[in-house]
Amino acid sequence: MVDRYDVVIAGAGPAGAQCARDLATRGYDVVVLETEPEDEFPRQSNKSTAGTFPSMMSSFGIPDDVVMSYTDDVVLESPNSHYKSYQPGAVLEFAEFKRFLVADGRENGAEYRFDSRVSRPILDEDGVIEGVRYNGDEEVYAEVVVDATGPAAPIASALDVVDLERENQAIGIEYEMEGVEMNHPEYADLRRAMMLRLDHDIAPGGYSWIFATGGDTAKVGICYIQNDRHREFAQEGQTVDGYLDAWVDRDPRFADAEVIDGKVHRGSAHIQMPDEMHTDRFLAIGDTVPSIDPLWGEGIHKGMKSARAAAATVDRCLTDSKRRLDAESLAVYERLWHRDVAPRMKSRLMLTRLLYLAPNERYDRFMRDLRKTEENTLEKANQGEKGAMAKLLHLDDIPLLAKFAREQLGS
Ligand SMILES: Cc1cc2nc3c(=O)[nH]c(=O)nc-3n(C[C@H](O)[C@H](O)[C@H](O)COP(=O)(O)OP(=O)(O)OC[C@H]3O[C@@H](n4cnc5c(N)ncnc54)[C@H](O)[C@@H]3O)c2cc1C
C-alpha cells in the first residue's frame, strides 16, 4: 500500500511543527518526519536561545509553561556604553517549546514519525516532486511536500529551490550559566532583560548576548559569520567556542558563574537574501529559506509566520475545485512571505552589513545616538525604514559607507 498524505513535512522545528499544527487544525492529513529520536527530542536541534516577544506567544497560542523568564527590556551594549529600551519579551525553554508544538499538533490530528531522516525527493516522470525518501529506502507520498529542516535543506537543495551559501552561514554557541552577576555596578541591570552586545573584541563581525532566565541564571552566547568582516577583526586560530570562553573568563559578570551541566547549545543559520522558496508541489519554510532577522537572529517568530503562510497557501489551493498545486498556484506563498514574514529584507540586510562593518568606537556613538532619538528608531531601522536608518548615520560615516559600497560592488 502506498503511504500517502495531503502534506508531508520534513523537520519538526518551530516552522515544521507549526505548519503541521495549522494544517491538522484545518483537517488535512499531515505527517512530519523528524530525524531525531523521540525519547531525546530535541537533542542536537536544541540550539536556540529562544528569546521572543508577546506577539509570537499570542499569535500562536504558546502557553506560559514553556517560558523560562519574562523580560521587560532589550539592552544593547557597546564596548563602553549601553542603550536600554522597554520592550517586554519572553525567554523560552526551547526544548519544551518544541515538545509543546509536537504534542499540540498531534492532539489536532498531525502524525509524527521520529527517527526518520529525510534524504531526497521522489520525482514523477515530469520531474515534479511527489514524495520523499527517508531512512534509506522508505517512501512517503503527498500532494505537497514542505522542507522545514532548517539549514540542512535536503529537499529544497535537491530541487534547486534554495542555495544556502557557506560564506553567509552564521555560527552560534551558547551556555546556560548560573552564578551570573545580573546587576553588576559597571553594566546595565540585566535581571529582566535580553542584552545584545556589539563588540569586535568579543564577537568579531558579530554579536554576543546575555538573556536573563531568572535569578542569577542566564543564557550567554556568541555568534558571527565567518566572512571578511569576521577575519578583519578576528584573532588567528581562535574558534567560536574559544571566543565565548575568552569573554566568560574576562567579563566580571561571570567571575563566579559556571556553565550548568550539559547546557551547551550550538547551531547555525544563513544570513542572506532569499531567492526562491517554492516550486511545483513544494514549499520551503523556516530557516530553510534565509528568513532569520539579520540583525538580531530572531528566527522563531519568522519561521512560525512562514509556516502559517505555507499552511494558508496549501489550504487555498486544496480548497479550490481544481486543486492546482503547480508553482504558479503556490506562488501566493512567496507573496505572503515578502509581505508578512520578512518585509524589506534587502534594506534590513544592508543595515546589518553596515553595522557589522563599523569599528568598536562607532558602536559607542551608536548607543549615544539611540539615546537621543525616539524610542522606536532602532525598531523602525531594523524593519528597513530608510528614514530611521538615516537618523543613525552621520557625515563622518562616509568612509564607512564608501567601504560598504565597495564591498557590495565587489560581491
Ligand atoms: C545559537 C542560536 C541562538 C538563537 N537564538 C534565537 C533567539 O533568541 N530568538 C529567536 O527567535 N531565534 C533564535 N535563533 C534562531 C532560531 O532558533 C531558528 O530561526 C529556528 O529554530 C528555526 O526554526 P526551523 O523550524 O526553521 O528550523 P530548525 O529549528 O533548524 O528545525 C529543523 C528541524 O528539522 C530536523 N531535521 C534536520 N534535518 C533533517 C532531515 N534530513 N530529516 C528530517 N528532519 C531533519 C532537525 O532535527 C530539527 O528538529 C537562534 C539560533 C541559534 C543557532
H or E segment and range at residue 179: none
Note the pLDDT tens digit of each residue in 61-100: 999 999 999 999 999 999 999 999 899 999 999 999 999 9
Burial of 365 (0-12, 13-18, 19+ CB in 10 A): middle
Q: What is the ipTM of this complex?
A: 0.99
Q: What residue's CA is closest to ligand 1, atom 7?
A: 50
Lowest mean pLDDT among 50-64, 102-116, 348-362: 348-362
Asked whether the predicted pLDDT for residue 270 surpasses 90, the reply is: no
Residues within a 6 A CB radius of ligand 1? 10-16, 33-36, 42, 45, 47-52, 117-118, 148-150, 152, 154, 172, 174, 221, 223, 265, 267-269, 286-287, 292, 297-301, 303
CA of 11 to the centre of ligand 1 (A): 9
Q: Tell me the H-state helices in 184-340.
A: 228-233, 240-250, 300-319, 327-330, 332-336
Ligand 1 atom nearest to CA at 194: 8
Largest CA distance in the chain: 70
Number of alpha carbons in the 13 Å side-chain half-sphere of residue 68: 25
Ligand 1 atom nearest to CA at 16: 25
The span from the first CA to the last CA of the chain, in angstroms, equals 51
Mean pLDDT for all residues in the chain: 90
Note the pLDDT tens digit of each residue in 333-371: 999 999 999 888 777 777 777 777 788 888 888 888 888
CA of 106 to the centre of ligand 1 (A): 20
Write the Ramachandran bin of 297: left for phi over 0, alpha for psi from -120 to 50, otherwise beta. left
Ligand 1 atom nearest to CA at 134: 42
Q: What residue's CA is closest to ligand 1, atom 5?
A: 49
Domains by residue range for the chain, with CATH: 4-48+95-164+272-341 (3.50.50.60), 68-91+167-270 (3.30.9.10), 345-410 (no CATH)
Ligand 1 atom nearest to CA at 299: 19
